[in-house]
A and B are shown apart, each in its own frame.
Chain A
Amino acid sequence: MTFRTESRDERDLVQIVYVSSAAAAMSAEELEMLAERSRNRSASGRLTGLLLRHGEHFYAVIEGPRRRVFQRIEEIIGEQGLRGLQILREETIRARRFVNWSYGVIPVTGRDSGAPSEFLWRFCGLQTE
């Protein structure tokens, strides 16, 4: 029964690209929990994509079955509030682009502050120059 649900879900995939500034209000412990949860989510395999933290900002690509993805976005809003949440792109996809979930922390040095946004812009196929 579960399998049937999953395979139907796998035919209705979406990918969402978003930015938020939720990390500003998170403690070191909360961020560590987030990293831990990211590792667990990777193991569950239902949602794939990546989450990058750069200072107080998150840059994310999240993909999976439509209802699971929107459920996750609702959870994020529930846990973290809107906090500058901007959905840059929402797209129906035929196949997943990522086979796993990854989380990374980008160094903050001041001189590369635009680079994480440029990462997402390029990922969305948009030039910034």
Chain B
Amino acid sequence: MGDLTEARDLLEFSFESTVSDVPEAALQRLARRSAAFNVRMGLTGRLRLEDGRFIQSLEGRAAVLLPLAGRILADPRHGSIRVTAFGSIGARRFADWSAEGFQWSLAGSDSDNLHFLPSRPERRRQASAAILSLGAAARPLPALRDA
């Protein structure tokens, strides 16, 4: 932001998916890696986990976001994908990238989709803290490359 030329090729890609067969540790690694990648690539948006569904909004330059969208949509860990927005936007709606909604209400955790969530309360707290700290780490918006 603060980059007047970026608005011309700003893109939004928002989708929901069911992430299954992903162990908790792998999920956290995935979330941490994608947080780092998003920040490095000047992507903003939000990731929420809700009832075993990933709800993700990403926004950034088309040149960065399009290849990433292709990769996400091809990733076999995502299933039942609902693309809710894919296209040009005039301005960013998010100031940063964050992961949230990981309070993991385990009501209905007998669902197969939730099997990767930690079952013991203390592990749940640890995992929750780890993921929430991702959001905090993602706070500062990096200077955009070739701005």
Interface 0/1 of A105-126, CB less than 8 Å to B: 1110101101110111111110
CB contact under 8 A between A115 and B62, given known A98-B81, A120-B70, A124-B74: yes
Q: Binary interface profile of A, 80-112, with partner B (CB < 8 Å = 1, else 0)?
A: 000000000000000111111011111101011
- A106 touching B69 by the CB < 8 A rule? no
Knowing A99-B80, A119-B66, A122-B70, the reply to whether A112 touches B61 (Cβ < 8 A) is: yes
Q: Tell whether B140 is near chain A: CB-to-CB under 8 Å.
A: no
Q: List chain A residues, Cβ under 8 A from B79.
A: 95, 97
| B67 and A100 within 8 A (CB) | no
Task: Tell me if B129 is interfacial: C-beta within 8 Å of chain A.
Answer: no
DSSP class of B's interface residues: helix, strand, loop or mixed?
Answer: strand
Interface digits, B63-99 against A, CB 8 Å rule (1 contact, 0 not)? 1001101110110000111111111100000000000
Contact residues in B for A118 (Cβ distance below 8 Å): 66-67, 70
Q: Is the CB of A97 within 8 A of B73?
A: yes
Residues of B within 8 A of A115 (CB): 62-63, 66-67
Q: How many residues of A contact B (CB 8 A)?
A: 30
Contacts of B10 in A (CB 8 A): 107
The verdict on A52 contacting chain B, using a C-beta distance below 8 Å, is: yes
Cβ contact within 8 Å between B66 and A111: no
For this complex, into which size category does the number of interface residues on chain B fall? 20 to 34
Closest Cβ–Cβ distance, residue B45 to chain A (whole Å):
16
| Bound Cα distance from A128 to B66, whole angstroms | 13
A50 at interface, CB cutoff 8 A? yes
Could you say which residues of chain B place their CB within 8 Å of the CB of A105?
A: 87-88
- Tell me, in angstroms, the Cα distance from A119 to B64 when the chains sit together: 10
B19 touches A (CB below 8 Å): no
The reply to whether B9 and A107 contact each other, CB–CB distance below 8 Å, is yes
Q: Are B70 and A121 in contact (CB under 8 A)?
A: yes
Nearest A residue (CB) for B6 = A109
CA distance A118 to B67 in the complex (A): 6
What distance in Å separates the Cβ of B72 from its nearest Cβ neighbour in chain A? 9
A-B contact pairs, 14 of them (CB 8 A): A97-B79, A98-B83, A99-B81, A99-B82, A102-B84, A102-B85, A103-B86, A106-B88, A115-B62, A115-B67, A118-B70, A119-B67, A119-B69, A125-B74
Chain A residues within CB distance 8 Å of chain B: 50, 52, 61, 95-100, 102-107, 109, 111-112, 114-116, 118-125, 128
| Pairs A-B, 3 closest by C-beta atoms | A122-B70, A104-B87, A104-B86
